Amino acid sequence: MIRFGTLGAAAITPRALIYPCVDEWRASVYAIAARDRSRAEGFARYAGIRHVLDDYQQVVEHPKVDAVYVPLPINLHRTWTIKALEAGKHVLCEKSFASNAIEAQDMARVAVEKQRVLMDAFHYRYHPVFIRAKEIVDSGVLGRVFEIRAAFHVPIPANLDDIRMNYHTGGGVTMDIGCYPISWVRHLTGEEPIEVSARAEVGPPYVDLMLEATLRFPSGIVARTSGDMRETAKFKAEFEVVGELGTLTVVNPLIPQNGHQIKLATRTGTSIELRDRRPTYGYQLDAFVAAVETGAPLLTDAEDAVKQMRVIDRCYRAAGLPLRGDPDVDR
């Protein structure tokens, strides 16, 4: 059994780790630590975690912890992922993986040196909905694909105490939710963009509330992605793949367990497919366990995470914004 230690009491932790472990006999959550021990204790009672430790260092060094879950603010991902890897632990790291590509490369290098599994937690990639979408695109039924439109929009209150609104904690819509459409189009094409242009709307200093990007790939496909967390945004999570012979539209590839649709329209007609409602996070845990236990390859491994962060960096540069984690940006 893989025993996880989790750092902090982030709101995503129950969905991303606690609940999946309930249904997975090969994994459990063994220990937790948070900046506030009382908060960790309350979270442990709620989640049934038996061991509350004093700090993050105790978690990564604990001899009975096999893997560490890192759902901390993005500016802390590099530090604690590397500490965990150097302590011999496997790591499941929340997205965005790091503040920038250089940090991601550091993390990937240590994972190779220590021969540990390091996974970028893009849970959607392991669900049958996205796998089916990828199969359709790769099958040729759409003919030559020339455009992909992908968007993830969620209205978020403009609370300056929210880490997503703070540049120095890795804030910005592209780091938080806009990273998903970028990942979708990278994985649908199986390519990395050769040209990137972008425009952004900024709220708090250097923090993108909305960012639209145009990515041109070697195959000629042009992808248009958008992330929007302005208070006026209307919820949207979908992508559309347009080819010479038809169009594929996938509604809610992000969390299809909450409802989804795979719509394929070609010259021969229109079909709608559904897949199961098992949570994406369960499939993600399956993949992580298989990688640890059998060396099975990951679709969102550290190498892929570096490529993802390179594209995010390019989007920020193209939009005229500093990369996250730039020490020269005023505090």
Strand partners, 236: 153
User: By three-state DSSP, how is residue 226 classified?
Assistant: strand
Asked if 247 and 265 count as a contact pair (C-beta separation under 8 A), the reply is yes
Kind and range of the H or E run holding 228: strand 222-228
Q: pLDDT tens digits for the chain (331 residues)?
A: 999 999 999 999 999 999 999 989 999 999 999 999 999 999 999 999 999 999 999 999 999 999 999 999 999 999 999 999 999 999 999 999 999 999 999 999 999 999 999 999 999 999 999 999 999 999 999 999 999 999 999 999 988 889 999 999 999 999 999 999 999 999 999 999 999 999 999 999 999 999 999 999 999 999 999 999 999 999 999 999 999 999 999 999 999 999 999 999 999 999 999 999 999 999 999 999 999 999 999 999 999 999 999 999 999 999 999 999 999 997 6
- Is this model's pTM higher than 0.85 or not? yes
Specify the pLDDT at position 158.
Answer: 84
Specify the pLDDT at position 58.
Answer: 98
Task: Look at the chain and count its residues.
Answer: 331
Domains of the chain, earliest start first: 2-123+284-300 (3.40.50.720), 124-277+308-318 (3.30.360.10)
Specify the pLDDT at position 160.
Answer: 82
